[in-house]
Structure 1
């Protein structure tokens, strides 16, 4: 594929607290995963990001998470699965309201944090995510790790699955992300991050933390917006992808 999407998690402040430079990142990325108020974000932030994304032609995704503001959605919660489904529906609907006001729409769904990691391996929570998306709008894409349980169940349900790679996160040999608590889980060297992004986009592979070569068939690459120097790093990744011959644009435009 000659095209590649570049996404980032945005709108992850809350009230008076801000996290990352959303506006600057929106000038670089092509898809914005917007926090919907459960792990981070609030109505005014969703409104602001929706307007800014629409103005720039950036695709908008609902970044749905556990109801865990204190833990930033990075602590696993063993939900009642119907409750988890409804919490995800609630978040998609909340963001959709602000997107409509801005003249746009929610284009896709991406789980956040612990929900992302859990749905990658847990049939029950993955099924709850799929059920919420199908109930709300089966035309929405699902942005997730290729080869994950969520990717498989979403495809079986007839949803469009978009494989995602992480340029600034270390992988384990089984293709899952290394836990953030582990040494080396986050990659800070900009040259290394750019090289990994290009390798994913061009060769469809990534090297695990222990040197294993992992197939990584991705259509979108994530650069985290809350890391130090995120704006410069995202710009360098985008430039690197372009230099490698990839057209950088929102994956929703390819459908």
Structure 2
């Protein structure tokens, strides 16, 4: 039986400034990556989003990034190794503690934004981040970008992991994501997103912009919660997968 998880980044509102329709997404996805206050989110948003996820039986993940609220964590930054590790610990600990307070549990970890992109190119950086998170909670399942340096890092660490592809992002031929500044990097067409995901899951491969197929483990599909068509894309992707006989459920980790 072919099965796959659907995850979305959420909990990214800040004070009176809303970001995304988390309540609607949580009716479709099976895992939620919830901001920890580094790149987005705040204490109230984190608690509220975790409670909603728990109520929808959606797996909860910590979603740390660079401490970059103004840049939404999308600015590449040079942070000393020890400082970065402590920033990861700080965010993951907040996530784990808040989940416990609302009667839930954090299952997985997923890096955000520029930090994730940099870690997809640098196994040592990825390992630094993952070691820091696992020092807070060694049972976390690390969600990695399929067939990148992040995968090399989890294999070296020997931790549990889940491999992710993106429904709404285009791929380069080295399995990294096309830079957001380039045309076509973000996919807004729900039908196209659904079709692409069925093709990739059935092929067991990432299909790049050039048409190249990169064999990959596909445990989960990411749907960004901050795009205007996020809810439509999530709905179309899930319908397309299920229509193709693919079961959508929360991942177990490898």
TM-score computed with the length of structure 2 as normaliser = 0.96
Could you tell me how far 1:64 is from its partner in structure 2? Answer: 0.7
Q: Which residue of 1 aligns with 2:207?
A: 207
- Distance in 2, matches of 1:215 and 1:185, equals 21
Residues 10-159 of structure 1 aligned to structure 2 (within 5 Å) = 10-159=10-159
Could you tell me how far 1:154 is from its partner in structure 2? Answer: 1.5
- Equivalenced residue count is 254
Q: Which residue of 1 aligns with 2:175?
A: 175
Aligned residue for 2:23, secondary structure, equals: helix
Residues 163-242 of structure 1 aligned to structure 2 (within 5 Å) = 163-242=163-242
Deviation string 1:149-196 (CA, Å, 9 cap, x unpaired) is: 222111221211211000110000111100101111011222210011
Q: Which residue of 1 aligns with 2:243?
A: 243
- Distance in 2, matches of 1:6 and 1:41, equals 21
Q: Which runs of 5+ in 2 are unaligned?
A: none
Could you tell me how far 1:246 is from its partner in structure 2? Answer: 1.4
- Distance in 2, matches of 1:16 and 1:167, equals 29
- Distance in 1, matches of 2:22 and 2:161, equals 26
Q: Is this contact kept in 1: 2:190–2:229, CA < 8 A? A: no
Q: Is this contact kept in 2: 1:200–1:216, CA < 8 A? A: no
Q: Is this contact kept in 1: 2:121–2:149, CA < 8 A? A: yes
Aligned residue for 1:86, secondary structure, equals: helix
Could you tell me how far 1:226 is from its partner in structure 2? Answer: 1.1
TM-score computed with the length of structure 1 as normaliser = 0.96
- Further displaced range: 128-137 or 43-52: 128-137
What RMSD in Å do the two structures reach over aligned CA positions? Answer: 1.3
Q: Which runs of 5+ in 1 are unaligned?
A: none
Deviation string 1:23-68 (CA, Å, 9 cap, x unpaired) is: 1101110000001001000000000011111111100000110000
- Distance in 1, matches of 2:105 and 2:37, equals 17
